[in-house]
Amino acid sequence: MISGSLTALVTPFKDGVVDADAYQAFVDWQIRSGTDGLVPCGTTGETSTLSNSEHVHVIDLCVQAAGGRVPVIAGIGSNNTAEAIHMGREAQKCGADAVLAVAPYYNKPSQEGMFQHFQAIAKAVDIDIILYNIPGRSIVDIDLKTMGRLAEIPNIIGLKDATSDIGRISDYKAVCGADFIQLSGDDPTALAHWAHGGTGCISVASNVAPTQCAEMHKLCAQGVFSKARDLHEKLDRLFKDLFLDASPAPAKYALSLMGKMRPDVRLPIIECRDSTKAAVVAAMKSAGVEI
């Protein structure tokens, strides 16, 4: 089952291209640090600035480096259904365990349009699909009725919810069933998400603090919420300060201090401000991350 601390992997760059060696070393470090699953080519992976060939290459690098040790859920998000299908098929060829499909952004489809978009992807691939609902970026919001319809499609197995609306978890469970995987898309709400019946988080902070995030989610899975809350409080500033500037610039800066990769990002993302750098360093120390 897909659960626990799942890292929305950043994509390292060097001299303007994907740094394959740094990426695969980073994937291996993530797994050895306790991460339960990997999500290459999500928003945090700067997918919108990757070419199609780079997108497939990054998924392939992740699958190879993971070596079957943890699930790989490849981001295939697009507001072009044909493009999402193409990338889903490519992810399947690479050996990904599942794909992450975002609600179509910018073109503002209807609920029926979104249903047909995801249904078309599901029919085109033979691996599992995690839906991604993030109205703050996509504008559109997959409503409860549509989510229930989508959950009836056999290979649509779960949801990454980035609405921060904890009350939805019980609603989704009622219409999608208890086996429908519910993952938080926001680190600050992950603890509460677990308490209401969720099963993990696709995390930005676990790029920088994989051991601490994995331990927090392990405690949540065991129902030891008092200890999980203690960890949450130590991680809280990191959860928030990694977004003081456009993500993933702060996360990449943190990882550069740890010797994992360069801080390089692609336009329109730019490197973070000095004030953000200082806040990130303080947050890392609070979280117990070694620099």
Q: State the catalytic residue, choosing from 132, 252, 253, 260.
A: 132
Q: What DSSP assignment string belongs to the chain?
A: ---EEEEE----EETTEE-HHHHHHHHHHHHHTT--EEETTSGGGTGGGS-HHHHHHHHHHHHHHHTTSS-BEEE---SSHHHHHHHHHHHHHHT-SEEEEEPPPSS---HHHHHHHHHHHHHH-SSEEEEEE-HHHHS----HHHHHHHHTSTTEEEEEE-S--TTHHHHHHHHH-TTSEEEES-GGGHHHHHHTT--EEEESGGGT-HHHHHHHHHHHHTT-HHHHHHHHHHHHHHHHHTTSSSTTHHHHHHHHHTTSS-----TTS-PPPHHHHHHHHHHHHHHT---
Q: State the catalytic residue, choosing from 106, 123, 160, 277.
A: 160
Active site residue 23: no
Q: Give the residue numbers annotated as catalytic, written as ranges.
A: 132, 160
